[in-house]
Structure 1
Amino acid sequence: MADWIALHQLLRTAPAHRLVGDADGQPLDHAGLLARVRAWRTAFAAAAGRDWALHFDDSVAFAAALLGAWSAGKRVYLAADRLPATLQALQPHVDGFAGDLEPHWAPLAMPLPEAAAGIHEEFSDLDELSCRLVVFTSGSTGEPEAIEKRLDQLAREVEALEQVFGGLLDGVQVHGTVSHQHIYGLLFRVLWPLAAGRAILPRRFFHEDLVAALSAAPCVLVATPAHLKRLPEQLEWRAVRGQLRAVFSSGGPLPDHAAAQVRVLLGQAPIEVFGSSETGGIAWRRCEAPPSAWQPLPGVRWRIEEGQLAVASPHLATTAWWRSEDRAEIADDGGFRLLGRADRIVKIEERRVSLDALERALRADPAVADARVLVLPGQREQLAAVVVPRDGGLLDAGAEGRRSFTQRLTTLLAAGHDAVSRPRRWRLVPALPVNAQGKSTQALLQALFQPSMPSLHWLDRSDSTATVQLALDPSLRVFDGHFPQVAVLPGVAQVDWAIRLGRQLFAMPPRFVRMDAVKFQQLARPGDVLLLQLDWDAARAVLGFRFSSDHGVHASGKVLFADAD
């Protein structure tokens, strides 16, 4: 740890010429970083409020803003992404935003570094207890929760990582597919490299540009299981093997087949790091064949309490023991083995069901590449399965082909699970949906069972008219919140469906102009079957629509379009 600088002393003691990483395509040294930090400190010091949310695409730009905010006494919230829903959820908890965000969010701007050069020139050590960061759990099993971390917790964790792995990483560049907006990426791609003096490179994904970057100089790759499961075999990995010193994986279990592929293609047994947003890093193992037991990181104590892993660690907010939801057992070599999540045992109609066990049974089928099982909320909870078939042709095989495949999987599960404890709803997908951190969250999986459009049955179609039958499934996304007491189909959804289907059928101009003679006469509810009549007047660029059912006419109107300006 000869080049090591403690995080709280980084701004005051790091040599000016020390390389930080790549910023805007150019090398940036510590003096350049300090200029940016100083500019951000000036901006944050002048801004009212303590709590600020950051979202930056570039890791070095993010590091400067983070350190500037801490220097100005601010508490930082990490925005997992910049989707409107994410930022809207954050807005009540923060005083403002900074970063690569739309003007709508009024992000705080960094002054030009030169403008802040003469303001409060000297830096003091950061206070490890007062510098705070708020991160969010991934929401893999429920709604994300806010977790506050102090700088001392983060600092002890990067020191533990350096103690175990620092000898592998002398002189390397840090590449990664994981975002620094998540705790794993923050530690491995920003804070640890800053303390150790390793160059931080922009986030990349598994394409030719990443292969070229990994081949250029000694490096380490920081990735997630979701990314490592999808290594493109056709890329020229041989050039990488001479430069790659280590591959890290965290954020979820790394499947054995993915670890084997990493060993073959990249020439490295991946190093898996186990932990959570609440606990920080807990343990690590090298994914050889077979994988070794988990070994605790320095300073982490562990024990088994009623079959579940409990830890005490300087990465936690307190010195008390913290019992996880991970079932575990002691291994022969003194480490421990994980046996699945205790919080993934659910009750369905008073029957205890292990979601992990169902997923293992599905993945045991050679035709299944991956699978996730979840509980769909509702008046009557039910199990659902999202399956990635190895044969991608099944996705285009039609309803009958997909039904035959899921029936075969149901039969497979029947050998060990009764009807109550088997999935009742299925989705076949080319890949599990993941967020920016490579996590398949509960929200993303649930969205697959909430279609945005009803099922369609076309009765007739021509160049100027069409009639289609729409079945209003209660799971349609448009019924969420409209209205809590009695679900009804919003009028805006009816107009949207008419326009969407009209664009599928007719050569309509791109620009919406206005709506005329729109009337909403009858409420449409879940379970109704609607008849939609569409009439296209090409000469006037007018789409007429009429929704009806056994209850009468629900909505009608006209929509006028025009060519783009």
Structure 2
Amino acid sequence: MADFWSLATLATQPPSALRPVARRADGSLASHADLLVRIGHWHALLAPQAQTEWALYLNDPLEFAAALLGAWHAGKTVLLPGDALPETVHQLQHRGCALAGDLPGGLQPEAGAVAPTAALQALHPQHTRLQVFTSGSQGQPQAIDKALHQLLAEVATLEATFGARLRGETVPTVWTTVSHQHIYGLLFYILWPLSSGRPLASQRLLYPEDMVAHLGPAPSVLVATPAHLKRLGDRLDWQRARQGLRAVFSSGGPLPFEASQSAAQALGLVPTEVFGSSETGGIAWRQAASASQSWQPFAGVQWREDAGCLAVQSPNLPDGAWWETTDRVQASGDGGFVLLGRSDRIVKIEEKRVSLDAIEQQLLATQLVKEARALLIPTSVGQRVGVVAVPTEAGQLLAAQGRKVLGDRLRQALAGAVEAVALPRRWRFVPALPHNAQGKTPEALLRALFDPVEPLDTSAMPMPQWQLRSATEARATLRIEADLVLFAGHFDVAPILPGVAQLDWAIQLAQQCFDLPTHFVRLEALKFVRPVTPGTTLILDLSYKAQLAKPELCAVAFAWTSQDGSSAEPVAHSSGRALWSRTVPQEAAHA
């Protein structure tokens, strides 16, 4: 077991070739000595620079760790943007930040430069500064200042609380589904492993298939979010992953108890949930044995209830003052508390107080949806409630009759529980809630679902190679190259083909192949199973069928698949059914 080293002196320790810091993609280990070389390069690059504030964005976690420590030792305040999108870069430049790493025009050490030999001094706990940004789940991302002493306290608490369960004859590798550009990934994936001598894996596990491929049988730790743990599925073989896992961590949002149970069944461990925020750091943790399991505060964290909301005093905060949160709590009687939702999700509509949390809970109680997010959206009569929901199997059966059928049923269920003005006016039914690199669902992503849809640039569709075309069946292949315009911004770290593109292309090609009516009605039975990444050769199967029960209707079933070379079975990506009508469909009035 490696000694626990403070981040303040990590770069001043004698180089150690025996202390691992990262596991590369080829399986080789990078050592503390290797890290010191990279820290030296970044320190030599940044120390002479006049600017004091540097925005740092790097995809490679080991290089990121070296750049962060090098910048700190150079006396720089480091800002961690959550992404490298043009608007984010513009905002950073507007506030006068210099750019480093993978940001456009960002400063980086030259390849092949001679390793510097300057002696570094220990970092000052108060003067070493970092700025992180909130996820924007409740609105626009907000900048949060952190001093090193806050991060040191939090890393020490994590080791004291969870370190024993991670120990063993072999040091486990820390794998993650989250970005290190946010506080959760920064702490659990970068800073804690560096201090404890546990190597971090150099590649992120973005999909369940990646977890199955990389977790186990060697000892491992998984740092994940509810968004990823809810999507593990039961079609993969998790036996290998279960052999080596020592802990599964989840943070960034609430993990439903049902998802915790299914994750435990797949991974062999009940996820350890961590509750906190960018502002407060970690507050409490739990391993849920029931849906009402209380949260236990971390050592050193004091809490109290102020006007029904949680207030905390913690070494993770800038000073000893109490921090008022907007999380409603109730004491559990065992020294912990139960979370009751957020007080800031009480909104006003025409002077009526409306709880968005209450709307979501009422919707979940119908058992027609398994996830729901309510938000205010602009309408022709002012701000009203819109809902993004993931239907259950029962809900999908109703949606198959038309999305208005499911929406009306849910409105009826709400009618007796909420004011009429608070009844949702618009619905979006999706296979899964959208999420960002941190596994959170920012309000901006939800709002985007209600924005007017601009037609796709149809010229972006690769040229189909037809293998079969008949009056009722068709098959084509499309090569998805890395330079496809639709990959731009979707997403920078791990480009995937937008699901809407798969739907649009299926409809376009169906219209080329079959004699279809003019009026498009709806899409049904949509399933998105696995993302499409650059380099994939997609196979599209189309099947035309008249609707005998309704002669004016016809349907085209479609399925996107591919071959991965390791199995004769095709890899499913997405599927569904599109309906057309020879008369103007009644549903058009409710679209």
**Global fold match (TM > 0.5):** yes
* Residue number in structure 1 paired with 2:190: 190
Q: After TM superposition, give the deviation of residue 235 of structure 1 in Å.
A: 1.5
Q: After TM superposition, give the deviation of residue 506 of structure 1 in Å.
A: 9.8
Q: After TM superposition, give the deviation of residue 239 of structure 1 in Å.
A: 1.6
* Residue number in structure 1 paired with 2:248: 247
Q: 1:114 to 1:16 in 2, by over 3 A?
A: farther
* Partner SS, residue 221 of structure 2: strand
Q: After TM superposition, give the deviation of residue 223 of structure 1 in Å.
A: 0.3
Q: After TM superposition, give the deviation of residue 99 of structure 1 in Å.
A: 2.0
Q: After TM superposition, give the deviation of residue 452 of structure 1 in Å.
A: 3.2
User: For the Cα contact (< 8 Å) 1:389–1:428, is it kept in 2?
Assistant: yes
Aligned amino acid, residue 142 of structure 1? G
User: For the Cα contact (< 8 Å) 2:368–2:395, is it kept in 1?
Assistant: no
Query: What aligned pairs does 1:437-476 form with structure 2 within 5 A after superposition?
Result: 437-453=438-454
* Residue number in structure 2 paired with 1:287: 288
Cα displacement string for residues 157-193 of structure 1 (whole angstroms, at most 9, x for unaligned residues): 0100111100011221101101101100000000000
* Residue number in structure 2 paired with 1:115: 114
* Residue number in structure 2 paired with 1:274: 275
* Residue number in structure 2 paired with 1:328: 329
* Residue number in structure 2 paired with 1:218: 219
Q: After TM superposition, give the deviation of residue 301 of structure 1 in Å.
A: 0.6
Query: What aligned pairs does 1:510-549 form with structure 2 within 5 A after superposition?
Result: none
2:340 and 2:370 map into 1 onto residues whose CA distance is 21
* Partner SS, residue 223 of structure 2: strand
Q: After TM superposition, give the deviation of residue 392 of structure 1 in Å.
A: 10
Q: After TM superposition, give the deviation of residue 114 of structure 1 in Å.
A: 4.7
Q: After TM superposition, give the deviation of residue 116 of structure 1 in Å.
A: 3.2
* Partner SS, residue 140 of structure 1: coil
Q: After TM superposition, give the deviation of residue 285 of structure 1 in Å.
A: 0.8
2:367 and 2:403 map into 1 onto residues whose CA distance is 16
* Residue number in structure 1 paired with 2:93: 91
Query: What aligned pairs does 1:82-231 form with structure 2 within 5 A after superposition?
Result: 82-101=84-103, 105-112=104-111, 114-118=113-117, 120=118, 122-170=119-167, 171-201=171-201, 202-231=203-232
1:321 and 1:383 map into 2 onto residues whose CA distance is 34
Cα displacement string for residues 258-312 of structure 1 (whole angstroms, at most 9, x for unaligned residues): 0010111111111110000000000111122345311111111111111110000
1:410 and 1:283 map into 2 onto residues whose CA distance is 36
* Partner SS, residue 381 of structure 1: strand
Q: After TM superposition, give the deviation of residue 330 of structure 1 in Å.
A: 0.7
Query: What aligned pairs does 1:480-491 form with structure 2 within 5 A after superposition?
Result: none
* Partner SS, residue 156 of structure 1: helix
Cα displacement string for residues 345-383 of structure 1 (whole angstroms, at most 9, x for unaligned residues): 111111111111111111222221211001125782111
1:351 and 1:116 map into 2 onto residues whose CA distance is 65
Q: 1:142 to 1:306 in 2, by over 3 A?
A: same
Cα displacement string for residues 426-454 of structure 1 (whole angstroms, at most 9, x for unaligned residues): 11112111111111111111111112338
1:344 and 1:84 map into 2 onto residues whose CA distance is 30
* Residue number in structure 2 paired with 1:530: none
Q: After TM superposition, give the deviation of residue 87 of structure 1 in Å.
A: 2.0
2:455 and 2:383 map into 1 onto residues whose CA distance is 22
Q: After TM superposition, give the deviation of residue 15 of structure 1 in Å.
A: 4.9
**Greater displacement, 306-315 / 22-31:** 22-31
Unmatched runs of 5 consecutive residues or more in structure 1: 456-499, 508-565
| 1:258 matched to 2:259 | yes
* Partner SS, residue 246 of structure 1: strand
Q: 1:113 to 1:249 in 2, by over 3 A?
A: farther
Aligned amino acid, residue 252 of structure 1? G
2:434 and 2:281 map into 1 onto residues whose CA distance is 25
Q: Give the number of aligned pairs.
A: 455
Q: After TM superposition, give the deviation of residue 316 of structure 1 in Å.
A: 0.7
Aligned amino acid, residue 56 of structure 1? L
User: For the Cα contact (< 8 Å) 2:275–2:283, is it kept in 1?
Assistant: yes
Q: After TM superposition, give the deviation of residue 208 of structure 1 in Å.
A: 3.2
User: For the Cα contact (< 8 Å) 1:229–1:258, is it kept in 2?
Assistant: yes
1:135 and 1:395 map into 2 onto residues whose CA distance is 44
* Residue number in structure 2 paired with 1:533: none
Aligned amino acid, residue 245 of structure 2? L
User: For the Cα contact (< 8 Å) 1:40–1:111, is it kept in 2?
Assistant: no
* Residue number in structure 1 paired with 2:316: 315
* Partner SS, residue 42 of structure 1: helix
Unmatched runs of 5 consecutive residues or more in structure 2: 457-504, 514-591
Query: What aligned pairs does 1:2-81 form with structure 2 within 5 A after superposition?
Result: 3-13=3-13, 15-17=15-17, 18-23=19-24, 25=26, 26-81=28-83
Q: After TM superposition, give the deviation of residue 22 of structure 1 in Å.
A: 2.3
Q: After TM superposition, give the deviation of residue 94 of structure 1 in Å.
A: 4.2
Q: After TM superposition, give the deviation of residue 57 of structure 1 in Å.
A: 1.4
TM-score normalised to structure 2 length: 0.73
2:14 and 2:354 map into 1 onto residues whose CA distance is 54
**Greater displacement, 435-444 / 86-95:** 86-95
1:98 and 1:396 map into 2 onto residues whose CA distance is 51
Q: 1:410 to 1:19 in 2, by over 3 A?
A: same
* Partner SS, residue 8 of structure 1: coil
Aligned amino acid, residue 269 of structure 2? Q
1:397 and 1:331 map into 2 onto residues whose CA distance is 40
Q: 1:8 to 1:346 in 2, by over 3 A?
A: same
* Residue number in structure 2 paired with 1:350: 351
1:405 and 1:70 map into 2 onto residues whose CA distance is 54
* Residue number in structure 2 paired with 1:418: 419
**Greater displacement, 307-316 / 359-368:** 359-368
Q: After TM superposition, give the deviation of residue 2 of structure 1 in Å.
A: 6.4
2:454 and 2:74 map into 1 onto residues whose CA distance is 48
* Partner SS, residue 115 of structure 1: coil
* Partner SS, residue 65 of structure 1: helix
* Residue number in structure 2 paired with 1:488: none
1:161 and 1:372 map into 2 onto residues whose CA distance is 31
* Partner SS, residue 216 of structure 2: helix
Q: CA RMSD in A?
A: 2.4
* Residue number in structure 1 paired with 2:373: 372
**Greater displacement, 306-315 / 237-246:** 237-246
User: For the Cα contact (< 8 Å) 2:368–2:394, is it kept in 1?
Assistant: no
User: For the Cα contact (< 8 Å) 1:392–1:430, is it kept in 2?
Assistant: no
1:211 and 1:134 map into 2 onto residues whose CA distance is 35
2:14 and 2:143 map into 1 onto residues whose CA distance is 32
Q: Which has the larger radius of gyration?
A: 1
User: For the Cα contact (< 8 Å) 1:23–1:60, is it kept in 2?
Assistant: no
